[in-house]
Amino acid sequence: MPISHLEGVTLVVGVADMTQALSFYGQLFGRPPDFVLEEDFQEYEIVHGMWYQLTTRVPPGRGRRVRFGVADIAVERRAIVEQGVEVSEITGKPGVVAWCQFKDPFGNPLGFFQDLAAFPDPALLK
């Protein structure tokens, strides 16, 4: 039975320390959370209808990788490297998609991706 009309998505990420998580994600997203349900459950609306939820109620590091779509992966990668985050090299499929991977301070697998059809970059993945 397919979903007839998807209105949004939530992604729950376990963190061990909310203060550290808010510092990391505040730098990553460039702002504080958009919604605070409770002190141990805070959310960022990363695109309309898509909520990235941080909670100490779920064990950290047990989620699946979440990749954030960006228009210029090289710029975004460089920005978080400058913040001291260890990030993989950019890889992918030429002309289709590029990605890189990193983790938050709690081991949750994250990454960036660039849709090379929508945001082409001839210098990426030659």
Kindly report, residue by residue over 53-92, the tens digit of the pLDDT: 999 988 887 767 888 988 889 999 999 999 999 999 999 8
Encode pLDDT of 89-116 as tens digits: 999 888 888 999 999 999 999 999 888 8
Band of residue 8 on the pLDDT scale cut at 50, 70, 90: confident
Q: Is 9-115 CATH 3.20.20.100?
A: no
Domain limits of the chain? 9-115
Q: List the 97-103 sheet strands across, edge first.
A: 66-69, 109-115, 97-103, 91-93
**Predicted TM-score (pTM) of this structure:** 0.77
> What CA–CA distance (Å, rounded) separates 65 from 88?
14
